[in-house]
A and B are shown apart, each in its own frame.
Chain A
Amino acid sequence: MKEKFGLHNLPEAPVTLETTLINKTGSWKNIQPVLQESTAPCTAACPAGIEIPLYFDMLIRGRFDEAAKILHESNPFPSITGRVCPHFCEQKCNRGYFDEAIGIRGIERYLGDLYLDKKWSPPDVTRDEKVAVVGSGPAGLSAAHFLRKKGYRVTVFERDQKLGGVLRYGIPDYRLPKDILDREIEALKREGIEFKTGVEVGKDISFEELKNSFDAVFFGTGAPLEREMRIPGEELFIKGVEFLKDVNTGKIKKFSGKVAVVGGGNVAMDVARSLLRLGATPVVLYRRTEKEMPAIREEVERAMEDGIEFKFLTLPVRAEKKNGKIELTNIKMKLGEPDETGRRRPIPIEGSEFTEEYDAVITAIGELADLSIFPEDLLNKKGWLDVDLRTTATKDDRVFAGGDLVLGPATVIEAIALGKRAAINIDRRINGLELKEFRPFEKVVEYKKIVLDYFMEEPRQKQPEVPVEERIRHFDVEEVGDYTPEQVQKEALRCFSCGHCNGCGTCWVFCPDMAIGWENDQPVFIYDYCKGCGICSAECPRDVIQMVQVRTF
């Protein structure tokens, strides 16, 4: 029988006699919160899907080593991408709508350099199978690294005397110092990858021979051929990629005179900026306008800061040698309807030809892969290597391919991403598993989901830079410097941490029912007492807590 209450057994103050935990208020709810992380726009924008908020989480806690570890899981070469990546992540950063995007690349570079000489311990050889990688550019090195991590014996074949491919022979020193590249490669050697330089497939070893000596082959041979202009006098021109290679090997140390650089892509920018630093006066000729330039925006801006002259809507149509100089005839263009790339097509304006004199002309109008080594049955109707980009598989079960070879001139990070994708699928193929298709991220956190009340405007940390007048005088002085550790942490604290719980505790503070516990720096919902009010979800600054239906009426 229930005890009767009266003066004799009621406490002096009207407080409950027993713990209130007996009242399971959670039984009243029809919705309840769940911790559901989703993808940050930076991660979704990154070709390699680097989970930026995850390592930022470590940074704000001051755990730099762990941050570096997480970063290296998805990107083995942050020292490289931290310098040359066009940072798609920053372009999509939600913070960019608020004040300024987070300096992700600068942080990536800092963590990469922090770890550069500490990586890697060699993974054990756990597999009998051997894999060959052809080409030691970013795609090949990435594939080799991830395959080695899976326990395979990996051999990299490089036709040049030195390793690195486009990283060594394409990208100039002022953007990526050779020392950094060398230390990255040293780390891969420590990992137990075998490198064979001066070996060209198709010449020193045949495609078939290679295929028969290995269980799988990855091709990451890049796009080393310069596209031809197909105009009279073309034989007078220097090819952009060849020029860069000569500069990067030290064959060319000086260059003088007025030089036309034809093209608007990254090679054109590298050529023009290198020329300036070697003593020449470059003039960039591009057939469309600045807006349509395929080069990394930052590089275009830097070239303009350097004081390089740009002539837009200008296309060379013929060239002649005259008095030791090249007489270049150009035609003016206008923009028409958009083409298949979405950019407006340039149309020549009749009768607008004009002639200029140059000491040299360097073309950089697009780079092509060298497909001569592949048997015809691996090519498609257009004559290109037939590759399923979702898996990097070719028509041959043992042959995979990635990087510029399959993408055309692209970025280092895209090459790294495809190298990793290839490593995953080579492993699956060898294990007789179905290949894993890459799928774009589905649930990406939108800016409107960020609860801005929790953030204050704070300017982005700036990396130190060599002044323009100073930088254009040197070829081998890196123009951008490092963040300090304090800057890294400050910048990490600016991050919204979209879709990732970084343990800010806002939900814990707001829960009116004390139905949120705290374990391992994360909220834990105590569903017995959660009434499903949804305040935690509404207040979560970073869209990590979702309300789900648990009962319907």
Chain B
Amino acid sequence: MTTAMKKVLTGNNSVSWGVKLSRVQVISAYPITPQTTIVELLSEMVANGELEAEFIKVESEHSAMSAVIGASAAGARAFTATSAQGLALMHEMLHWAAGARLPIVLANVNRAFGPPWSIWTEQTDSLAQRDTGWIQIYVESNQEALDNVILAYKIAEQVNLPVMIVLEAFVLSHTNEPVEIYPQEMVDEFLPPRENPLYVVEPGNNYAVGSLGGPDVYMEWRYKMQKAMERAVDVIKTEGENFGDHFGRKYGLYEGYMLDDADIVLVSAGAFTSTVKYTVKHYRKETGEKVGVLRLRAFRPFPHDALREALCCRKKVAVLDRNISFGHHGIFYSELKSALYRLKDDKRPPMFGYILGLGGRDITPKDIREIIEDVKTREEIEEDIIWKGVKP
């Protein structure tokens, strides 16, 4: 087997390489910062003949998603990428893709919604697509971005649900890191051409997709979708382990860092978790206090059981949300609260929800250190949102 090559790549171009290695057959996208360079590189790869795929230019993200829906329904492996307003424009078709049970992979580069106009990172855009029926996986590094595109197809094509890979604007999308690029044959072994599609729309095959489903059948199909999502929890876990066996990098439903013996657990998702890990490592060294980190990866399906098990009996849990559901709380915070509700009172840790870093504001080790100090002072939940860094 040829050895892997290393390249210095941005997060976006790592995604492009993941797409290339997955031998995607149809790509359709509409440019939007900070996503654009993902499909820019892909279009070059297609034009150069490095990637044998159809690249469909479209006039909007709604059309881009429609095009990959068509491609996927026709049996192809399809990919698109977008950000914020673009993702919102796709919203209708996101439901459509999931409802039609198509294993499309989308890379969303987290970007804050306008107004006020912003191109910087925030998780609200992807989290707002929570109920579309898409699997969502949040990544921390460029390598994880590349790996998880491959993994996403592996998962999607087993459960017949679409997968959204989520990475942060600029912090990942435009930042270079050394990334290992696997030999194609190694990827081919792990991810063979798309197998056993639920259906293929093609001449001579007279299916109707998206036809009327009356009250007599609709609910059953929604039940099947939920069951597929539930099944996805196991598939993500198993395939993450298989990926580790094959490529040497293992991925789970979540990632623990200094978690095993931790009394205080900081929960976050995405690239800024690196800052959290860094701070925790130093904090432990300096104070000896048992602080740990739980990085969320799978948001949909939300791995309730695994998280309940991971957080059971901890002294305190702090959730760091770079997002907000207006009129409610940080989204990861409220999701996690509901997951832990089934724990007995004495086993359920008090939780504190911090909102920070909105619209791309920097999250620094100092911020994290202050949060740890703050958590230590708190015993009971007094407020559901603890704002971090709002300037007076």
**Hey, which bits of chain A sit against chain B, CB under 8 A?**
5-7, 10-16, 19-21
Contact between chains at A13 and B100 (CB < 8 Å): yes
Measured CB to CB, the nearest residue on chain B to A514 is B203
Q: How far is the CB of B135 from chain A (nearest CB, A)?
A: 16
Contact between chains at A15 and B208 (CB < 8 Å): yes
Residue in contact with B207 in the complex, picked from A6, A10, A20, CB distance below 8 Å: A20
Count contacts on B: residues with CB < 8 A to the other chain: 20
List residues of chain A with CB within 8 A of the CB of B199: 11, 13, 15
In the complex, what distance in Å separates the CA atom of A266 from the CA atom of B224?
85
**Hey, which bits of chain B sit against chain A, CB under 8 A?**
99-101, 160, 198-199, 206-211, 213, 216-217, 220-221, 223-224, 228
Residue in contact with B213 in the complex, picked from A14, A19, A21, CB distance below 8 Å: A14
Q: With contacts A5-B220, A12-B198 known, what are 6 further pairs, Cβ within 8 A?
A: A10-B217, A10-B224, A11-B199, A13-B199, A13-B209, A14-B210
In the complex, what distance in Å separates the CA atom of A6 from the CA atom of B219?
9
In the complex, what distance in Å separates the CA atom of A421 from the CA atom of B221?
72
Contact between chains at A21 and B206 (CB < 8 Å): yes
In the complex, what distance in Å separates the CA atom of A5 from the CA atom of B100?
19
Q: How far is the CB of B104 from chain A (nearest CB, A)?
A: 13
Of the A-B pairs whose beta carbons lie under 8 Å apart in the complex, a sample of 20, sorted by A's number, is: A5-B216, A5-B217, A5-B220, A10-B217, A12-B198, A12-B228, A13-B100, A13-B198, A13-B209, A14-B100, A14-B211, A14-B213, A15-B199, A15-B207, A15-B209, A16-B208, A16-B211, A19-B206, A20-B206, A20-B207
Q: How far is the CB of A500 from chain B (nearest CB, A)?
A: 28
Q: A5-B216, A5-B217 are in contact. Are A12 and B207 (CB under 8 A)?
A: no
Measured CB to CB, the nearest residue on chain B to A20 is B208
In the complex, what distance in Å separates the CA atom of A15 from the CA atom of B101?
10
Q: A12-B160, A13-B100, A13-B198 are in contact. Are A7 and B224 (CB under 8 A)?
A: yes
Interface centre among A5, A10, A11, A12 (most CB of B within 10 A): A12
Measured CB to CB, the nearest residue on chain A to B223 is A7
Measured CB to CB, the nearest residue on chain B to A5 is B217
List residues of chain A with CB within 8 A of the CB of B224: 7, 10, 12
Contact between chains at B206 and A10 (CB < 8 Å): no
Q: How far is the CB of B303 from chain A (nearest CB, A)?
A: 23
Q: How far is the CB of B73 from chain A (nearest CB, A)?
A: 9
Contact between chains at A16 and B207 (CB < 8 Å): yes
List residues of chain B with CB within 8 A of the CB of A16: 207-208, 211
List residues of chain B with CB within 8 A of the CB of A19: 206-207
Measured CB to CB, the nearest residue on chain B to A22 is B206
Measured CB to CB, the nearest residue on chain B to A19 is B206
In the complex, what distance in Å separates the CA atom of A509 from the CA atom of B160?
30
Q: How far is the CB of B120 from chain A (nearest CB, A)?
A: 38
In the complex, what distance in Å separates the CA atom of A49 from the CA atom of B36?
59
List residues of chain B with CB within 8 A of the CB of A15: 198-199, 207-209, 211
Contact between chains at A13 and B160 (CB < 8 Å): yes
List residues of chain B with CB within 8 A of the CB of A14: 99-101, 209-211, 213, 217, 221
In the complex, what distance in Å separates the CA atom of A19 from the CA atom of B216?
20
**Which 10 A-B residue pairs are closest in the complex by CB-CB distance?**
A19-B206, A13-B101, A13-B198, A16-B208, A20-B208, A15-B207, A14-B221, A15-B199, A15-B209, A5-B217
List residues of chain A with CB within 8 A of the CB of B210: 14
In the complex, what distance in Å separates the CA atom of A5 from the CA atom of B198?
19
List residues of chain A with CB within 8 A of the CB of B99: 14
In the complex, what distance in Å separates the CA atom of A312 from the CA atom of B17?
80
In the complex, what distance in Å separates the CA atom of A501 from the CA atom of B173?
53
In the complex, what distance in Å separates the CA atom of A10 from the CA atom of B208?
14
